[in-house]
Structure 1
Amino acid sequence: MSMDRTCPKTEHVIVENSADVHWAVSKVKKIAREIGFDATEQEELVVCAKELAMNMVLHAEGGILSIRVKCELMDWEIEFTAKDNGPGLRSIDEAIADGLSSRGGLGIGLGTLNRFMDSLDLLPVPEGQSGTRIRCTRKLKKRERYAVSGPLDVGVASRPCPGFNLNGDSYVVRIIDNRLMVCVIDGLGHGQFAHKAASAAQKYVEDHVHLEIEALFKGVDRSCRATRGVVMALALIDWERNSISLAGVGNIEVRYRGSNPGFSYVFKRGFLGAGVGRVSISEHVWEANDLLIMHSDGISSKWSLEDDPTISLLSAKQMALALLRNYGRDNDDATILIVKKADGADTTKR
C-alpha cells in the first residue's frame, strides 16, 4: 500500500461543474484503491461520490466534497462530507427513495448511498447559514474475518405462499469471527411486492453484517422506503462469551429454550420502511445446548416442542422442515429458522 499512513487525512474538492465532479471521483477512486478496497468496492464508492458531487452541481450551484481517511487499530474507513448552500434538505428519510435527482442527475438518489455506505447522516447547518450537509462513511472490510463454520447447527425452511412463485419471506445466516448472525425477514403481504421488500432488506443486511445491530435496522428501514416494508427479527450469538442479542420490529416470533428459563420474545410493533425510530436490543445468556427458533407469521404460533419431544433430537434443518410441514399456513409465505448445538461440536472455551 503506497498511501501515506498519516491518519486522519482529509482532502477537499471544490465542486462547481462536471469537470470538478470528474476530478472528485478520480480522487475517491485513487484513495479507495490505496486503502485496499477491491475493484467492486471502489466502483461503489465512486458512484456514491459522484451522486453527492453531481447533486451539488444540479441542485445547489456547487459546494465542497471532503474526502477523509481514518484508521484506528488498522481498521480503515473512508468518509465523504458534502457541503453546499442550496435550498437544503429537511430529512434523509424523506428523500431516501431512489429518484431524488430530479433534474437529469444520476437518478439513483440517496437510496444508493444508504445501500453502499455504512452510515448516512444529515448534519446540522450552522446558524445563519443555508444549504445541506451530508456525511457518509464506509469501513474497509477485513477479508479474513468471515468464518465458514462454528459449533452451531443452523437449519432453515422457507416457501412462498401457495399459488405464488415468489417468496415474500427471506433470511440471512452469517458467521463473523466467533459470532453467528441470523435474521428472518417478512415482506408485508405476499407476491412480487413482498418479495421486492424482503429482498431489499436481505441485501442490506448481507452487505453490512459488520455494523452494530441498531445501525443495521436503521439501514434496512431506509432501504425499504421505496417498498411496502418488512418486519424483521435478528439474533447475534457469541458462543465464546455465552451471549445472545435479540432485536426486531413486527410480528416475527422468537422462541428460546435452554438451561435458563425459556421465553417467547415480543418485538416492537410496526414495520421497517416507515421510520420506526430506535430499536431496543435484548441481551441474554446463551449456553451450548440452548435452542433458538425464529419464524414468520406464515407459521402458526399454536404449537409447542412438548407436543413431540422427539423433534428436538433432529438436526436443525430436519426440525425446520418438520415444523414448516406441520404448522405452515396455506395463505401466506412461511419461513422458520432454527439454531442449536451442532452434533460433535466442541464448545469448551480455550
Structure 2
Amino acid sequence: MNIGGSLTQVLLIEDSSQIGHARRTAQKLAEDNGFDATDAGRVALVATELASNVLKHAGRGELHLRILPGSSANGIEILAVDRAQGFDLQACMTDGFSTGGTQGIGLGAVSRQAEVFDVHTDSRGTVLLARLYPRASKAADLRIGISQHSLHNDPACGDVWHLAFDGANLSALVIDGLGHGEEAERAARAGEKAFALAPFASPVYLLEDIHQAMTGTRGGALAIAQFDGHLGTLRFTGIGNIGGSLISADKSRGLASHPGIVGGQYRKAQPFDYAHVNGHLLIMYSDGLQSRWNLHDYPGLVYRHPAVIAAVLHRDFCRGRDDVTVLVVALEAAHG
C-alpha cells in the first residue's frame, strides 16, 4: 500500500459560529470519502463536541482534519489542539460532563464513537485525537501520525511525505523542496513520484533515481527510512536538513544525514543502519520544525498515538516561516 502526502486541514475555533462550520466541514469530508449517513453523523458529532470542548475549555484553539487512506476504506482523523492549561481529563471523560453549552455527552462518549481515541494534556495545552472509520469496513488503524502545513496556508507546499507498506516492512520519504510555493512543490513532487515507483529498492539506487527526477528543478533536502519489521532494523539515508530521530521510552538518538542538495549536488550518500528498533518511534521532520525539542520533556507523550505526538511537536516547535512536516511512525511488525 502506498500513501501519498497531503496537507493537514486546519479549522480555527475562536467563537461559537465556528463550531457549526467545523461540524459541516468534517461531515462533508466523511461523505466525500465513502462514509454513509450514519457514519458521517458520528464524524459530525465528534467534530462538534471536540470543537465545543476547545472553545469552552481553552477559549480558542484548532481542529486539524485529515483523510486516512486505507486498503479497505478511508478514515477521518480529527485532532483538537489548544494551548490552555491542562484540564481534568477524568471529569471530561464522564458522560454528562459538559464544558458549558454543549450537549454534555462527555469525551467518554466521544471515545466510544471513534475507533481510535487518545489524548495528551499538560501545562502547555491539550491535544485530543479521534479517528473514525466506516463501521462496516473493519479497517485497521495504522500507527502513524502526520502534521503538514504550508507557509501562510499556501495551496502549494514545498514539503512532501510518502509512505509505502509491504507486509511488516515500511519505507518512509520526506522531501523539502528548496524555498516554498509552487516551484518548491514541483521539485518535491518529482522526487516523490520516483520514490513511489520502487520504495523498497536499495537506497543508493533509489536516491540516484530521485536525484535524476529532481534535476532541472530547484532540488531539495531528502530523507528515506526503510524499516524491516522481521529483522527489527532501520536503514536511514539523508541528504540535507531533514531531521530524523529514533525514540524509545528512555532514550533518543539522532539519525545522521549528509550535506548536499538532491537534484543539485551531493556526494554519494552512505546509508546508516540501526538495529533493534522494534517498539521505537521514528520521527522525521522538515526544517520548518525547530530541532531543539525533546520528547522526554513531555511525561507520557512517548506512549501516546503517533498522531498526537506529531500534533504536539507542530504546536510547540513550528518555526512559522517555512512549510513544515512532522511524520511519526511506531515501528512495529504489526504494520503487516
TM-score interval, smaller chain:
0.5 to 0.7
**SS state of the match for residue 300, structure 2?**
helix
Q: Distance in 2 between matches of 1:152 and 1:286?
A: 21
**When the two structures are aligned, how many residues end up with a matched partner?**
198
Residues 216/281 of structure 1: CA separation in 2 closer, same or farther (3 Å cut)? same
Q: Distance in 1 between matches of 2:144 and 2:287?
A: 20
Task: State the TM-score, normalized to the length of structure 1.
Answer: 0.53
Asked whether the equivalents of residues 227 and 273 of structure 1 are also in contact (C-alpha less than 8 Å), the reply is yes
Bigger drift between 217-226 and 161-170 goes to 161-170
Residues 326/280 of structure 1: CA separation in 2 closer, same or farther (3 Å cut)? same
Which whole-Å deviations, capped at 9, do the CAs of 1:184-209 have from their partners, x for residues lacking one?
11001111111111111111111222
Residues 233/282 of structure 1: CA separation in 2 closer, same or farther (3 Å cut)? same
Aligned AA (2:236): L
Q: Distance in 2 between matches of 1:159 and 1:293?
A: 16
Match of 1:314 in 2: 304
1:220 aligns with 2:215: no
Asked whether the equivalents of residues 197 and 227 of structure 1 are also in contact (C-alpha less than 8 Å), the reply is yes
Match of 1:262 in 2: 252
Match of 1:327 in 2: 317
Q: What RMSD, in angstroms, separates the aligned Cα atoms of the two structures? A: 2.4
Asked whether the equivalents of residues 144 and 329 of structure 2 are also in contact (C-alpha less than 8 Å), the reply is yes
Which whole-Å deviations, capped at 9, do the CAs of 1:112-143 have from their partners, x for residues lacking one?
xxxxxxxxxxxxxxxxxxxxxxxxxxxxxxxx
Match of 2:150 in 1: 160
The one of 191, 196, 200 equivalent to 1:201 is 191
**Distance apart, 1:317 and its partner CA:** 1.3
**Distance apart, 1:309 and its partner CA:** 2.0
Asked whether the equivalents of residues 295 and 301 of structure 2 are also in contact (C-alpha less than 8 Å), the reply is yes
Q: Distance in 2 between matches of 1:239 and 1:320?
A: 22
Which whole-Å deviations, capped at 9, do the CAs of 1:158-188 have from their partners, x for residues lacking one?
1101252211100110112331001111001
Task: State the TM-score, normalized to the length of structure 2.
Answer: 0.55
Q: Distance in 2 between matches of 1:336 and 1:256?
A: 14
**Distance apart, 1:295 and its partner CA:** 0.3
Match of 2:269 in 1: 279
Q: Mark the runs of 5 or more structure 1 residues left unpaired by the alignment.
A: 1-148
Asked whether the equivalents of residues 259 and 287 of structure 1 are also in contact (C-alpha less than 8 Å), the reply is no
Asked whether the equivalents of residues 282 and 331 of structure 2 are also in contact (C-alpha less than 8 Å), the reply is no
Match of 1:177 in 2: 167
Q: Distance in 1 between matches of 2:315 and 2:277?
A: 28
**Distance apart, 1:257 and its partner CA:** 1.7
Q: Distance in 1 between matches of 2:152 and 2:290?
A: 15
**SS state of the match for residue 203, structure 1?**
helix
Structure 1 stretches of 4+ moved >2 Å: 149-152, 258-262
Aligned AA (2:307): K
Asked whether the equivalents of residues 201 and 230 of structure 1 are also in contact (C-alpha less than 8 Å), the reply is no
**SS state of the match for residue 309, structure 1?**
coil
Match of 1:288 in 2: 278
Match of 1:339 in 2: 329
Q: Distance in 2 between matches of 1:258 and 1:210?
A: 25
Asked whether the equivalents of residues 158 and 176 of structure 2 are also in contact (C-alpha less than 8 Å), the reply is yes
Match of 1:245 in 2: 235
Instruction: Say which one has the larger Rg.
Output: 1
**Distance apart, 1:260 and its partner CA:** 8.9
Residues 270/287 of structure 1: CA separation in 2 closer, same or farther (3 Å cut)? closer
Bigger drift between 252-261 and 175-184 goes to 252-261
1:186 aligns with 2:176: yes
Which whole-Å deviations, capped at 9, do the CAs of 1:204-257 have from their partners, x for residues lacking one?
111222421111110111111110001001111111111110101000111112
Aligned AA (1:188): L
Asked whether the equivalents of residues 239 and 286 of structure 1 are also in contact (C-alpha less than 8 Å), the reply is no
**Distance apart, 1:151 and its partner CA:** 9.9
Asked whether the equivalents of residues 151 and 341 of structure 1 are also in contact (C-alpha less than 8 Å), the reply is no
Residues 151/264 of structure 1: CA separation in 2 closer, same or farther (3 Å cut)? farther
Q: Distance in 2 between matches of 1:328 and 1:155?
A: 16
